[in-house]
Structure 1
Amino acid sequence: MTNTTQTLHATQAGPAPSSEPQVAPPSSPVGTEDFSLRFAPRHYRTWTPAAVAASALGGIAYLADFSIGAAIGVEHGTTNAVGGILIAALLIFISSFPLAYYAARYNVDLDLITRGSGFGYKGSIITNLIFVSFTFILFATEGAIMAQGLKVGLGIPLWAGYAISSLMIIPLVIYGMKLLSKLHSWTNPLWLVMMFIPLIVLVIQEPSSVGTFLEYGGENNAPVSFAAMMLAAAVCLSLTAQIAENIDYLRFMPPKTDANRRSWWAAVICGGPGWVVLGAIKQILGVFLAVYMISVVGQSADIAVEPVNQFMTEYRQMMPGWLAVTLAVILVVISQIKINTTNAYCGSLAWTNIYSRTTKRYPGRVWFVVLNVSISLALMEFNMFSVLSFVLSFYSNLAIAWIFTVAADIVVNKYILGISPKRPEFRRGMLFDYNPVGITSVVLSGGVSIAMFFGAFGDTVAPFSPLFAAVIAVVVTPLMAVVTKGRWYLRRDSDGIDLPMEDADGNPADDRLTCAVTGESCERPDMLASAVPGPDGKTQYISSLALTLDASGEHVLPLEHGTPR
Structure 2
Amino acid sequence: MSSTERRLREPAGREERAEREESPQAGADAAARETLEDYTLRFAPRSYRRWTPMVVATTAMGGIAYLADFSIGAGIGLTHGTGNALAAILLAAVVIFVTGFPLAYYGARYNIDLDLITRGSGFGYYGSVLTSVIFASFTFIFFALEGSIMAQGLKLGLGLPLWLGYLVSTFMVIPLVVYGMKALSKLQVWTTPIWLLLMVGPLVYLVVTDPGTVDHWLSYAGTDGQDGHGGQSGLNTASVLLGSGVCLSLIAQIGEQIDYLRFMPPRTDGNRRAWWTAVVVAGPGWVVLGALKQAIGVFLAVYVIASVGPAAAAEPIQQFKAAFDAMMPSWLVVPLAVALVVISQIKINVTNAYSGSLAWTNSFTRLTGRYPGRMVFVLLNLAFALTLMEADMFSFLNRVLSFYSNCAIAWVVTVATDIMVNKYVLKLSPHAPEFRRGMLYAVNPVGTVAFVAASGLSIATYFHALGDTLQPYSPVVAALIAFVLTPLMAVLTKGRYYLRRTTDGIDEPLLDADGNPSATLYECHVCRQEFERPDVAACRTHDAVVCSLCLSTDRIGDHVLPASV
Matched-pair contact (CA < 8 Å) for 1:21–1:497: no
Cα offset, 1:374, TM superposition = 1.2
Matched-pair contact (CA < 8 Å) for 1:32–1:366: no
Cα offset, 1:499, TM superposition = 1.3
Q: Give yes or no for the alignment of 1:372 onto 2:376.
A: no
Cα offset, 1:24, TM superposition = 7.0
Matched-pair contact (CA < 8 Å) for 2:124–2:498: yes
Distance 1:447 1:179 in 2: 39
1:104-143 correspondence runs (5 A): 104-143=108-147
| Structure 2 residue corresponding to 1:63, chosen from 50, 56, 67 | 67
In the superposition, relative to structure 1, how do residues 25 and 502 fare at CA in structure 2: closer, same or farther (>3 Å)? closer
The answer for the alignment partner of 2:276 in structure 1 is 265
The answer for the alignment partner of 2:98 in structure 1 is 94
Q: Give yes or no for the alignment of 1:148 onto 2:152.
A: yes
Cα offset, 1:321, TM superposition = 2.1
| Structure 2 residue corresponding to 1:23, chosen from 6, 9, 15 | 9
Matched-pair contact (CA < 8 Å) for 2:122–2:498: yes
Matched-pair contact (CA < 8 Å) for 1:40–1:251: yes
The answer for the alignment partner of 1:456 in structure 2 is 465
Q: Which sections of structure 1, spanning at least 5 residues, go unmatched?
A: 1-15, 534-538
Give the AA of the match of 1:153: G
How many aligned residue pairs are there?
539
Give the AA of the match of 2:127: G
Give the AA of the match of 2:262: R
Cα offset, 1:527, TM superposition = 0.6
Give the AA of the match of 2:41: L
Distance 2:552 2:34 in 1: 19
Matched-pair contact (CA < 8 Å) for 1:238–1:399: yes
Give the AA of the match of 2:215: G
The answer for the alignment partner of 2:532 in structure 1 is 523
The answer for the alignment partner of 1:3 in structure 2 is none
Q: Percent sequence identity over matched residues?
A: 59
- TM-score normalised by the chain length of structure 1: 0.94
Matched-pair contact (CA < 8 Å) for 2:454–2:482: yes
| Structure 2 residue corresponding to 1:493, chosen from 502, 505, 515 | 502
Cα offset, 1:42, TM superposition = 0.3
Cα offset, 1:487, TM superposition = 1.0
SS in 1 for 2:8: coil
**What do the CA deviations read for 1:262-315 (whole angstroms, capped 9, x no partner)?**
000000000100000000000000000011112xx4330011100000000000
User: Pairwise CA RMSD of aligned residues?
Assistant: 1.2
1:121-520 correspondence runs (5 A): 121-222=125-226, 223=233, 224-294=235-305, 297-520=306-529
**What do the CA deviations read for 1:422-454 (whole angstroms, capped 9, x no partner)?**
111000000011101111011100000000001
Distance 1:450 1:119 in 2: 20
Cα offset, 1:367, TM superposition = 1.3
SS in 2 for 1:298: helix
Matched-pair contact (CA < 8 Å) for 1:23–1:514: no
In the superposition, relative to structure 1, how do residues 25 and 461 fare at CA in structure 2: closer, same or farther (>3 Å)? closer
Cα offset, 1:211, TM superposition = 0.3
Cα offset, 1:413, TM superposition = 0.5
Distance 1:400 1:467 in 2: 9
**What do the CA deviations read for 1:440-490 (whole angstroms, capped 9, x no partner)?**
011100000000001111111111110110010010000001111111100
Distance 1:374 1:195 in 2: 30
Q: Which sections of structure 2, spanning at least 5 residues, go unmatched?
A: 23-32, 227-232
Bigger Cα displacement from structure 2, 19-28 vs 366-375 = 19-28
Cα offset, 1:32, TM superposition = 5.1
Give the AA of the match of 2:518: A
Give the AA of the match of 1:401: A
**What do the CA deviations read for 1:18-73 (whole angstroms, capped 9, x no partner)?**
36663276434666531000000000000100011111110000000000000000
Matched-pair contact (CA < 8 Å) for 1:110–1:247: yes
Distance 1:19 1:473 in 2: 47
Give the AA of the match of 2:108: A
Distance 2:11 2:81 in 1: 62
**What do the CA deviations read for 1:170-223 (whole angstroms, capped 9, x no partner)?**
110110110000000000000000000111111112110000001000124343
**What do the CA deviations read for 1:302-342 (whole angstroms, capped 9, x no partner)?**
11100000000000001122210010000000000000000
Distance 1:428 1:550 in 2: 10
Distance 1:338 1:150 in 2: 16
Give the AA of the match of 1:556: V
In the superposition, relative to structure 1, how do residues 216 and 523 fare at CA in structure 2: closer, same or farther (>3 Å)? same
